[in-house]
């Protein structure tokens, strides 16, 4: 059965940030995630930015490996964040291969993958074992995952079939009140 994490940067917006942790727990979430508060603008020279990115990932992977910590990178679509450096799973897997550290993996955000690459079931299968964390949102609109073109129940079953046991981050913008919008998750024990 899939395990869901509430992304507090997106859902439970009707309460203050610190109150979102309790709101998520009340609805049955056992894990949370939220976006970094830091802004990292892309460099002007893409080749230099790539060299710096790879060097920084190598350094971070070395330091984190010593602590037993996994490092993930996330491709993000060019529509939501124009100019973002990493945009596709193909590009991310190339970076991971070039960095060459076992503790560097892919964060698989199915919303971004749908926009940039599509063919989600194929990618979920082909990349199995490379992603310790998955994120979801409906497309179009980045709302609840039962809105739009992505068949998430099918993908959740596929993830189960492939033995995925990591968290699935709910990184979407509720169309209304968060708890009401969790009707899609009741079959998975979420929604209170």
74 is catalytic: yes
Q: Which residues pair with 104 in a beta bridge?
A: 71
Active site residue 149: no
- Tell me which of 33, 74, 144, 177 is the catalytic residue: 74
Active-site pick, 19, 144, 161, 171: 171
Nearest residue to 96 via CA among 118, 120, 70, 122: 70
Rounded to whole angstroms, the Cα distance separating 8 from 36 reads 11
Q: Measure Cα distances from 52 to 55, 68, 82, 88, 152 in Å.
A: 5, 24, 20, 19, 36
Active site residues: 74, 171
């Amino acid at each position: 059965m899939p395990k869901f994490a509430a992304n507090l940067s997106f859902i439970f917006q009707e309460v203050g940030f610190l109150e979102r942790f309790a709101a998520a727990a009340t609805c049955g979430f056992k894990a949370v995630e939220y976006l970094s508060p830091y802004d990292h603008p892309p460099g002007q020279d893409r080749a230099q930015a790539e060299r710096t990115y790879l060097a920084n990932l190598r350094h971070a992977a070395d330091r984190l490996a010593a602590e037993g910590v996994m490092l993930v990178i996330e491709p993000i679509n060019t529509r939501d964040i124009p100019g973002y450096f990493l945009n596709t799973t193909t590009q991310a897997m190339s970076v991971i291969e070039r960095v060459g550290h076992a503790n560097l993996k892919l964060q698989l955000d199915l919303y971004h993958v749908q926009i940039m690459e599509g063919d989600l079931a194929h990618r979920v299968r082909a990349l199995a074992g490379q992603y310790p964390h998955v994120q979801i949102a409906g497309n179009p609109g980045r709302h609840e995952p039962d809105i739009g073109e992505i068949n998430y129940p099918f993908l959740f079953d596929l993830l189960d079939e492939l033995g995925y046991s990591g968290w699935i981050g709910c990184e979407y913008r509720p169309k209304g009140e968060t708890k009401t919008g969790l009707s899609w998750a009741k079959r998975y024990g979420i929604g209170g």
